[in-house]
Structures are given as C-alpha cells and as structure tokens.
Amino acid sequence: MDKNEIFKLLDSIPVDKNEYTVLSTCALVVRGIWKTVNDLDLAVTKKGLEEFKKYYDVKPKDEKWYIINDKIECCVDSMDGKRELIDGYYLQEIHDYYKYLITNKREKDISKIKVVEEYMKGDLNGR
C-alpha cells in the first residue's frame, strides 16, 4: 500500500482516531519517507480494541497482536507520550520508532535506520 491507499484504509476505519496510533513502516509511508507497506500496523487502546471488535471479526495473532482483517493488525498499547499528530492521524513518534529500529536485528528494519536518521535531521528533499 502506498500513502494514498493507507489514507483510504484509515478513513474507512469506523473507530475513533484517538483510540489508535499508526505504527512503524506505515507511519513512515504517511510521513512520505517510505514508499509502500504490506499491511497497516496499529497500536490501539483497550477501548479502541473493543471498538474494532464491534465492527470486525478480530482474531488473536499471538500473545500481543490481533488480526483485524487481511490489511490491518493491531496490538494493545495506548502509546502515551510516544505518538504525534500528522495529517490528522496519530503516528508513532519518530524517536520512539528509531529506538525500536536500532535495537532490532531484522534485516527489513535495519534497512530503515538511515532513512529515519535523515528524516530526524531534516535532510530529506522537500522537508
């Protein structure tokens, strides 16, 4: 999904925007510093998870994550102090995501470190 597809998907979610936060690579795509993502990862409050359950057949994926549908997954986390409002949506705060990236050993995450560092410095074209 590209940025436009993510916005269409976010706009279709019938849950209060205050109850979820766009995470990880999805947040990078919304910021315009990454091109695409396979699915939408969200952190939701407990209230947000209950709202999702009203509209979707939510299934546990593992101990922490839930599958909302084929394009949306979520975990329960209020993200207090770890989110910022951009383009009308709460996104994972970039420094919080950066901390995750530099402690993670997954190749797909390691490849994002430089892009996030450049974004935090404001060195990207058009920023």
Please say whether the beta carbons of 28 and 34 come within 8 A: yes
Cα–Cα dist 108/32, whole Å: 18
The mean pLDDT value for 96-125 works out to 86
pTM, full prediction: 0.90
Task: Name the residue with tokens 């430089």.
Answer: 114
User: Can you give the pLDDT at residue 127?
Assistant: 42
124 confidence band (pLDDT: 50, 70, 90): low
Handedness of CA 98, 99, 100, 105 (dihedral sign): positive
Nearest in space to 86 (alpha carbons), one of 8, 9, 29: 29
Residue 39: other Cβ atoms inside 10 A: 17
Cα–Cα dist 50/55, whole Å: 9
Q: At residue 33, does pLDDT exceed 80? A: yes
Cα–Cα dist 102/98, whole Å: 6
Angle at 30 between CA 26 and CA 32, to 5 degrees: 115
Nearest in space to 47 (alpha carbons), one of 22, 85, 78, 74: 78
Domains and CATH numbers, the chain: 3-94 (3.30.460.60)
